[in-house]
Structure 1
Amino acid sequence: MNRVFGIPNFWLTVMKRKDILAELITEDDEGALQYLEDIKSCRLDDSGGFMLEFSFSCTPYFKNSKLEKKYKIDRDGPVLIKARGCVIRDEIIPYAVSWFTGQFTDKELFVKYIKMTK
């Protein structure tokens, strides 16, 4: 008997129900996001920078089981993201994706520079 842990496609469903995220998700992204199992965040340092860690089950798209994206915050840097009182400035550092041959070689999942306003 196979046991299912968690809710299938939980994170994809959550992201698609938030307008601010849903507009950024493409059909290609949806395929890979079906394998997303968990998202964790942690602070990088005292400046307010943080990292998001995305954990995936085995996917046919890329070899990584985890992808990270770091956000550095500098109060005087250029505004990269502004949404609901949160302003991210300075730099967004994406994590290298190790694609399987022939999978999205012209795209970078989770490596989009997002510029949003209220």
Structure 2
Amino acid sequence: MTTYYSKDHEWIAVDGATATIGITDYAQSQLGDVVFVELPDAGKALAQGDEAAVVESVKAASEVFAPITGEVTEANGALADAPAKVNEDPEGAAWFIKMTIANTSELEGLMDEAAYKAFVETL
């Protein structure tokens, strides 16, 4: 499995033709305590850059954008009952959606872990 990162602080773990997407540890730390997560339904088509989810914290509401184009195959329903999981394990159990990968060339515009860490250090 290969993991990529976007400049909007989403991570995307690619396993074959499926991508699992969530927000990075940096993103959750900037948000503060997450109190609500709104996720799309399975079957929703998303283009790269579309709003894929909304995260609300005690500080603010923030959009999560689709780092690639594809169709949502699953949303992490556990986050509806326990949105604080985003603060506990943002790059693991608190994934947001799984989706198909419509265009693998879109992955080339994303960063690997080292490039993302270097990007975050500039913020």
- Relative contact order: is structure 1 or structure 2 higher (C-alpha 8 Å, sep ≥ 6)? 2
Q: Which has the larger radius of gyration?
A: 1
TM-score above 0.5, yes or no: no
Greater strand fraction, Structure 1 or Structure 2? 2
Q: Report the TM-score when normalising by structure 1.
A: 0.28
Q: Report the TM-score when normalising by structure 2.
A: 0.28
Greater helix fraction, Structure 1 or Structure 2? 2
